[in-house]
Structure 1
């Protein structure tokens, strides 16, 4: 069975051929040097690197025969290094025979590539058709190896063969190939950045002084050629039609076009004038922007066609004019304006990589600034009320407003640095759906919407697993089999939509399918059967509350457990992961119409740093608390007679709805309810699914605050998300309304 390629992969194989021929040339020269000086360790190391590169790139394009042959040569080189064989003419001849064999094969392969029709679904078999040639070459290499082997004892050969067989097995293993795939990316990125730095800080500086430095021009050509080949190998390892692949193709196009320009300059002896210097700096900046985006995996919008147009314009001028005319044309004002325009547009995309810890530290300092600002509010009020110096109090108030403005701008600027597009998570989902479709026999499509929606980097990192779980559930348990869908009058192909959009201070992610939906009555019966709720409790629950039963630990409606499982398995973990990043999830579903999971997330999150928010200060049982404003629907005053008790729980009427109500002092301290007041202060809260109310003794003022996370045993206090420091130095607890309803 031969490896084969299709016409769209021709460029990748051509890059492999070019890299292979370059390595073979080096191998041929170095093997002849090795025949003279077999003790040269540096020479042996260089030979190793070349053979490993051939083996690695052959593996990427599926040439297992070349991998096997190259492995035999590696064994010989290692034996020379370990002084287990003596270098003689027969050994060198064997390796040279391998070099000639590969050179002949790659030349023939290139000729066949040129004949491949790119307009039809053409296929090309990469392996050599006569496997006998490979076997004969392997036999020759092993015979040369054995004839030069220095035997210590009778068993050394057998032991060596066992070790080599084990090494070959490792080489061909899936684990080895995965590790190799991961390593090629890092190698490509670091080598490219190092080479581009050399061009920018050395070669172009030399050309700026001497526009006829042919050594510098040739070195830039070599770097671009090597980068293009490395990008091609890296391109072969990334998912098809992924954002990474599209960026790499654009990267390779710019490198290839710039390489053509350099070759033309070198061949026609064109002076490397200032316009070319300017353009070259722009190209390097542009390519480094790509590399930075690959490092951070935040693929920016780098489709700047002006760079490519600038390169092509120079190529066109060199091809259509003489050398003297070119020099004159290149110095025109029009050309300078073009380069300036390209430079201006390119500079927008320049970026700098910053360690996340530095950003976290900056955010911590901003949080301390907010605490200091709150102190000004407290001091200003004290000066006015207690010391009767309103003039100074007023001046301090103006300074506080100024400090507040600076603090907010600084916070927004730092937060914007942490924001990344959600496409980095969304791009993982098509593969998930495809795999499930193949394993279950279902037909389905995934549509992605709002990939450019931005979220805090920390949230992006933590939302991936819950989304994968929800997409799996939608595909496996939501979408029906094709014949079932047809019987229901639905299209044969199921539809799953993954969308993201921002609204105010939140980002919403929706996972919507047109599958069989969730039967609330089925959930109710299953919950009663498993003892999660009583029938009496179930009858009082709304449809929304019944659907939320699916988030109970251990709850599932799956008929059988599979590798993918059904909707419900692990949904409690999904919810807890979302809640842990200050998010919320709710369900909308209709039987045979489909299901929509709606995730609400904050735009920003503090996990390794302090979070700045705004809240309402309240007092209950002589204790002060802060309730974040984002959970507050409103506040009202009600009469005690409007509170009704049922099944040892309190309820109240609010705008036609009946909602739960409880005293905050009782939730946290199990104290008796205050019976001394008839008019009560009530705060209406929402956890994203339903509204509820808490009674407090006093409603104080609104204030910005900094969340200080609690450590140790304090971190697990239910209903409390952290603490903060008020302007007067008082430490208060921050209420977590999402947990509060469960405590009522």
Structure 2
């Protein structure tokens, strides 16, 4: 059977299960005695084993099988959960993630068998404690009985089910499957057989028990009893088509042939769906009711390829451009119907845009959920005690932003763990709890999403930053004295700037915060820092909700039209030429007792301008970059407009001061100004 068609589904589900495993292992480390968590970990390992075996990934299946052995002994109380066991399970998690990554990149699980981890798992399993002689003998006796057993004994309830099935013209079979003696993963092959049967039948009982088959506690054959609508020949053909199945013996069953054994193994709690559906259909006699009863309940979510969403977004973008163009057409004789049609189209387009945006929105949890494990490992590596609290994981942001924000957050969290949080002894000496705390928070603020990384560590030593800045020649001693705390903190975002006394595996090379700033500004975001000595630091990231369609203010410089993102604009003012002052050769204006630098866009963008009288009023757009304000001098304002951000293409990428372009209603192209690059 060709399993390649299921590869994408396998990868997606494996990622979900591995994330679940990661979260539960972190919880198990905190509450080792919690059986609910342990059972969930066992369930995930068991599911992964079955999925991997079905897909033919034998190394992954072997690893999860050995994990199951250890987990089962923990559940039985024969192995105690301690830090070494948790570390071992985390190593298994890392190995499984490596297998999945290789499957994503190459389509196979690679050559690494992780024999050292498997050896450790087997050592832990084998040394769990001795089994009594009486138990061992009984197990051997039971295995011997199973090997020689020729038939099955069922309880009264199972017999009644088969009797009903036969009365409803269904078939009841006893099927013995014999595997090839060279079969390495017997349980994996049995899993495929069970999945094949469950798609067409309802299994009533198996010998050995399903749990024993999963744990490979059987020879090379097992027997199942089932009811089905399928014929004997159909089942035989299906089963013999499975690899490593040597022989299939199918025996039809009837009520009279079965011996009554009420003390035998009881059936599972779940109802036999096929019989129940048949009964409901017969009693009702309505074909429609029969179809509804047999139809499985469908899920409320679907997985959609991101490329399809991008294509849908592009189509919506084109629709918005056409809508803008229609609004701008000057029609001499506009009748009422035309005006109403345009208004209706505008409402529909806006609703469609909102709907598409909601589809593209994903919770930041997708990024956040990788950090608890990272902080745990970092704390162990650094010899610190760190608690990570996460808030607002359900906050949604555009998928394009999610894909890019992970690396900056990793840098900030590692920075807090290494530079911020002190060693336990130092914290106790300062009167702090020995456990350091890092808070990761996300929330919406208008059309932006705010992400904060806050720690209760030592804070940023601005005097040390000042000394390093002077040593590197970034500022002289005289000017350094006049710098504010915020200005000193800005040095940390310079390339290769670090205050660490020594380089470690975690940090100290000065390649962290400058990367963070570059990445965030590339997303049209800003980063701010608040810090207090011995109290801690807070890094605040402000990002747009989406990078596709935004509200913008259209302005004119000479004969060119430009767009300024509305989310960056604080206000618009008109000033006179005589109100402009010079401070250290920089033009500034005074607005409500605040000194704001004035930026002549025509000079920066090299736009030829007509000479204007100095007494003429100047229109200034006040923009915000973090907590700083700047004023952009423009010729005229056109107004607010919804624009579609288009890339400039690879030949024009990286042009400073320009964030992209948009197509206007009249077909003209307007450039979008990069506020982060232009603002002082």
- Scaled by the length of structure 1, the TM-score of the pair is 0.58
Sort the Cα spacing of 1:670 and 1:364 in 2 relative to 1 into closer, same or farther, 3 A: closer
Q: Secondary structure at the match of 1:528?
A: helix
Residue-by-residue CA offset, 1:699-743 (whole Å, 9 max, x unaligned): 22222222222124532321111222222233222111111125x
Corresponding residue for 2:204? Answer: 263
Structure 1 position 378, deviation (Å): 1.5
Check whether the contact 2:175–2:225 (CA below 8 A) recurs between aligned residues. Answer: no
Q: Within the alignment, does 1:366 sit opposite 2:316 as a pair?
A: yes
Q: Secondary structure at the match of 1:704?
A: strand
> Please, which of 474, 499, 523 is the counterpart of residue 532 of structure 1?
474
Structure 1 position 59, deviation (Å): 4.3
- Give the whole-Å Cα distance in 2 for the aligned partners of 1:618 and 1:718: 19
> Please, which of 57, 60, 76 is the counterpart of residue 118 of structure 1?
76
> Please, which of 486, 489, 504 is the counterpart of residue 544 of structure 1?
486
Corresponding residue for 1:201? Answer: none
> Please, which of 644, 658, 674 is the counterpart of residue 720 of structure 1?
658
Corresponding residue for 2:362? Answer: 420
Sort the Cα spacing of 1:116 and 1:472 in 2 relative to 1 into closer, same or farther, 3 A: closer
Structure 1 position 269, deviation (Å): 7.0
Residue-by-residue CA offset, 1:585-605 (whole Å, 9 max, x unaligned): 111111111111111122222
Residue-by-residue CA offset, 1:269-309 (whole Å, 9 max, x unaligned): 77889xxxxxxxxxxxxxxxxxxxxxxxxxxxxxxxxxxxx
1:235-246 matches, within 5 Å, as: none
> Please, which of 610, 614, 628 is the counterpart of residue 690 of structure 1?
628
Residue-by-residue CA offset, 1:461-508 (whole Å, 9 max, x unaligned): 211111111111110111000011011111000001112122222211
Residue-by-residue CA offset, 1:376-412 (whole Å, 9 max, x unaligned): 1221xx33xxx4x3x43x5444322211111112222
> Please, which of 622, 642, 657 is the counterpart of residue 594 of structure 2?
657
- Give the whole-Å Cα distance in 2 for the aligned partners of 1:642 and 1:725: 36
Structure 1 position 557, deviation (Å): 1.2
Structure 1 position 267, deviation (Å): 8.3
> Please, which of 170, 183, 198 is the counterpart of residue 212 of structure 1?
170
Check whether the contact 2:458–2:534 (CA below 8 A) recurs between aligned residues. Answer: yes
- Give the whole-Å Cα distance in 2 for the aligned partners of 1:674 and 1:539: 41
Sort the Cα spacing of 1:113 and 1:514 in 2 relative to 1 into closer, same or farther, 3 A: closer
Q: Secondary structure at the match of 1:714?
A: coil
1:209-608 matches, within 5 Å, as: 212-214=170-172, 262-263=203-204, 312=269, 314=271, 327=279, 347=298, 349-351=300-302, 353-379=303-329, 382-383=330-331, 387=332, 389=333, 391-392=334-335, 395-535=337-477, 537-566=479-508, 569-605=511-547
Check whether the contact 1:473–1:567 (CA below 8 A) recurs between aligned residues. Answer: no
Give the count of matched residue pairs: 507
- Give the whole-Å Cα distance in 2 for the aligned partners of 1:366 and 1:13: 40
Sort the Cα spacing of 1:218 and 1:619 in 2 relative to 1 into closer, same or farther, 3 A: farther
Structure 1 position 213, deviation (Å): 4.2
Q: Secondary structure at the match of 2:543?
A: strand
- Give the whole-Å Cα distance in 2 for the aligned partners of 1:332 and 1:656: 82
Sort the Cα spacing of 1:589 and 1:178 in 2 relative to 1 into closer, same or farther, 3 A: closer
- Give the whole-Å Cα distance in 2 for the aligned partners of 1:347 and 1:468: 38
Check whether the contact 2:328–2:666 (CA below 8 A) recurs between aligned residues. Answer: yes
- Give the whole-Å Cα distance in 1 for the aligned partners of 2:80 and 2:324: 71
> Please, which of 694, 708, 711 is the counterpart of residue 649 of structure 2?
711
Structure 1 position 671, deviation (Å): 6.0
- Give the whole-Å Cα distance in 2 for the aligned partners of 1:545 and 1:121: 56
Corresponding residue for 2:617? Answer: 679
- Give the whole-Å Cα distance in 1 for the aligned partners of 2:424 and 2:294: 52
Check whether the contact 2:646–2:660 (CA below 8 A) recurs between aligned residues. Answer: yes
Structure 1 position 661, deviation (Å): 1.0
Q: Secondary structure at the match of 2:605?
A: helix
- Give the whole-Å Cα distance in 1 for the aligned partners of 2:601 and 2:71: 77
Q: Secondary structure at the match of 1:471?
A: helix
- Give the whole-Å Cα distance in 1 for the aligned partners of 2:65 and 2:472: 54
Check whether the contact 1:640–1:678 (CA below 8 A) recurs between aligned residues. Answer: yes
- Give the whole-Å Cα distance in 2 for the aligned partners of 1:441 and 1:260: 56
Q: Within the alignment, does 1:741 sit opposite 2:679 as a pair?
A: yes
> Please, which of 555, 568, 575 is the counterpart of residue 638 of structure 1?
575
Corresponding residue for 2:115? Answer: none
More helix by proportion, 1 or 2? 1
- Give the whole-Å Cα distance in 2 for the aligned partners of 1:460 and 1:554: 26
Structure 1 position 533, deviation (Å): 3.0
Sort the Cα spacing of 1:229 and 1:714 in 2 relative to 1 into closer, same or farther, 3 A: same
Residue-by-residue CA offset, 1:192-221 (whole Å, 9 max, x unaligned): xxxxxxxxxxxxxxx9xx8724479999xx
Structure 1 position 529, deviation (Å): 2.7
- Give the whole-Å Cα distance in 2 for the aligned partners of 1:324 and 1:700: 69
Q: Secondary structure at the match of 1:716?
A: coil
| 426-435 vs 468-477, which moves further | 426-435
Residue-by-residue CA offset, 1:243-288 (whole Å, 9 max, x unaligned): xxxxxxxxxxx99x99997426998977889xxxxxxxxxxxxxxx
- Give the whole-Å Cα distance in 2 for the aligned partners of 1:403 and 1:267: 62
Check whether the contact 1:719–1:737 (CA below 8 A) recurs between aligned residues. Answer: yes
Query: What 5-or-longer segments of structure 1 have no aligned partner?
Result: 24-45, 64-108, 125-172, 189-206, 220-226, 234-253, 274-310, 606-610
What root-mean-square deviation, in Å, do the aligned CA atoms of Structure 1 and Structure 2 show?
4.9
- Scaled by the length of structure 2, the TM-score of the pair is 0.63
